[in-house]
Homo-oligomer: A and B are copies of this chain.
Amino acid sequence: MSEQDLEDFRKEVQNWLAENCPEEMRQPMDSQDICWGGRHWKFSSDAQKIWLERMVEKGWTVPEWPKAYGGAGLSKAQAKILRKEMKRIKARPPLLSFGIWMLGPALLKYGSDAQRQEHLPKIARGEIRWAQGYSEPDAGSDLASLKTRCEDRGDHYAITGQKVWTSYADQADWIFVLVRTDFSAKKHEGISFILVDMDQPGVTTRPIKLISGNSPFCETFFDEARAEKHNLIGEINKGWTIAKYLLTHEREMIGGMGGDVMRPIGDIAVQQIGKGEDGRLQDPILRADIARMEIDGLAFMATMDRITQQAKAGGGVGANASMLKYYGTELNKRRLELMMDSAGSPGLVWGGEGDVASQWLRTKANSIEGGTSEVQLNIIAKRILDLPSQ
């Protein structure tokens, strides 16, 4: 596509957004303003509903997906323009979901055309909300030791077992699950990837209350839950390949949250603590800690850019996703520790000052979810540094 074509596209996007993005959807949002979609979704406003419908119609909830599956078939360059233009007018995302982030990419890569046809458009339109069923109580870092059993019952599969850390499973419609289909094979070789409708008696969920007081995750129990045979993705017993793909994908996303690390906390500290006559933050020790943290934050952001660009040039991010995930999440933890240090006593009150305490506690999970920091360090040591196993 020529520069001119892209410029035309930009104009078209600008015009369309100007006309179609409701004013209310251009306001700053917090977590309860997110539109997750799903069978039981209650729109928080007419504007939210209209905005989703209009974007769905354009295929812009999933702009790079093929038109056949509810997308707009945009090129990377076009999609970037769309993102930029939306950001320029501060348009809220019309729809967020694990379907868009996780299952969609997996189906596009490993699904059959029929499977894509069945599931992708519903994701694009926000009709079905998805959860992820990976970890189990005894399969955390060692995910491949999972035991959820999936048995062939002729015309369908029956699933029995327990998953944990299933995000918002209590509000989800369907779940993509890693299951064991062969108990006699080596642990990585008996795993399959399957889609399960949660609207059945065999599936129950229970929210997990976290130390932050919130419950974004659930335990999900399968008791002879039914899955249709055509909903097994890829080959049977080859689900680990898909799992690994999605883990790397997830890692990049979580590492990407490191974007937060550069929200300038020096400025926040100046507001909260004030400066002395010498123009320096009045807490000299905290000042040193914040300066070091900000420098690492700058360096990390520059690394995200550099590695993303290298990836675009070919070869992908590879095992460096582990490095980004490790460093970004540890940095974010440091950042929130310093936010707490800066906030002082108002930060120790639940719900006080941007709820910094909840944010702080939430970050402690960053270095656990999507593979712990220790797992990432193992991966770096083995795959990048080529150090031997014991």
How distant is the Cα of A181 from the Cα of B284 in the complex, in angstroms?
A: 61
User: What is the distance, in angstroms, from A344's C-beta to the closest C-beta of chain B?
Assistant: 18
Contacts of A291 in B (CB 8 A): 285
Against B, the Cβ 8 Å flags (1 = close, 0 = not) of A350-390 are: 00000000000000000000000000000000000000001
Interface of A is mostly: helix
User: What is the distance, in angstroms, from A122's C-beta to the closest C-beta of chain B?
Assistant: 48
From A280, which residue of chain B is reached at the shortest CB distance?
B284
What is the total number of copies of this protein in its complex? 2
Contacts of A278 in B (CB 8 A): 276, 278
Instruction: Flag whether A77 is at the interface (Cβ < 8 A).
Output: no
From A281, which residue of chain B is reached at the shortest CB distance?
B284
User: What is the distance, in angstroms, from A289's C-beta to the closest C-beta of chain B?
Assistant: 8
From A277, which residue of chain B is reached at the shortest CB distance?
B278
How distant is the Cα of A278 from the Cα of B276 in the complex, in angstroms?
A: 10
Instruction: Flag whether A287 is at the interface (Cβ < 8 A).
Output: yes
Contacts of A285 in B (CB 8 A): 288, 291
How many A residues touch the partner, as a band?
10 to 19
User: What is the distance, in angstroms, from A277's C-beta to the closest C-beta of chain B?
Assistant: 8
User: What is the distance, in angstroms, from A321's C-beta to the closest C-beta of chain B?
Assistant: 28
From A287, which residue of chain B is reached at the shortest CB distance?
B284
How distant is the Cα of A276 from the Cα of B284 in the complex, in angstroms?
A: 13
From A285, which residue of chain B is reached at the shortest CB distance?
B288
Among B276, B280, B284, B390, point to the contact of A288 (Cβ < 8 A).
B284
User: What is the distance, in angstroms, from A270's C-beta to the closest C-beta of chain B?
Assistant: 15
Contacts of A390 in B (CB 8 A): 390
Among A276, A285, A289, max chain B CB count under 10 A is at A285
Against B, the Cβ 8 Å flags (1 = close, 0 = not) of A278-303 are: 10100011011101000000000000
How distant is the Cα of A390 from the Cα of B291 in the complex, in angstroms?
A: 41
Query: Which residues 246-291 of A sit at the B interface, judged by CB distance below 8 A?
Result: 276, 278, 280, 284-285, 287-289, 291
How distant is the Cα of A4 from the Cα of B278 in the complex, in angstroms?
A: 61
Query: Which residues 309-359 of A sit at the B interface, judged by CB distance below 8 A?
Result: none
Contacts of A280 in B (CB 8 A): 284
User: What is the distance, in angstroms, from A378's C-beta to the closest C-beta of chain B?
Assistant: 14
User: What is the distance, in angstroms, from A288's C-beta to the closest C-beta of chain B?
Assistant: 4
How distant is the Cα of A287 from the Cα of B285 in the complex, in angstroms?
A: 8
How distant is the Cα of A63 from the Cα of B353 in the complex, in angstroms?
A: 66
How distant is the Cα of A284 from the Cα of B281 in the complex, in angstroms?
A: 11
From A278, which residue of chain B is reached at the shortest CB distance?
B278
Contacts of A288 in B (CB 8 A): 284-285, 288-289
How distant is the Cα of A285 from the Cα of B390 in the complex, in angstroms?
A: 42
How distant is the Cα of A57 from the Cα of B289 in the complex, in angstroms?
A: 59
Given A278-B278, A280-B284, A285-B291: 4 more A-B contacts, CB < 8 Å = A276-B278, A284-B287, A284-B288, A288-B288
11 A-B pairs within 8 Å (CB atoms) are namely A276-B278, A278-B278, A280-B284, A284-B284, A284-B287, A284-B288, A285-B288, A285-B291, A288-B288, A288-B289, A390-B390
From A390, which residue of chain B is reached at the shortest CB distance?
B390
User: What is the distance, in angstroms, from A296's C-beta to the closest C-beta of chain B?
Assistant: 14
Contacts of A287 in B (CB 8 A): 284
From A291, which residue of chain B is reached at the shortest CB distance?
B285
Counting from the closest, the 8 A-B pairs by CB-CB distance are A288-B288, A285-B288, A284-B284, A278-B278, A284-B288, A284-B287, A280-B284, A390-B390
From A289, which residue of chain B is reached at the shortest CB distance?
B288
Among A278, A280, A284, A390, max chain B CB count under 10 A is at A284
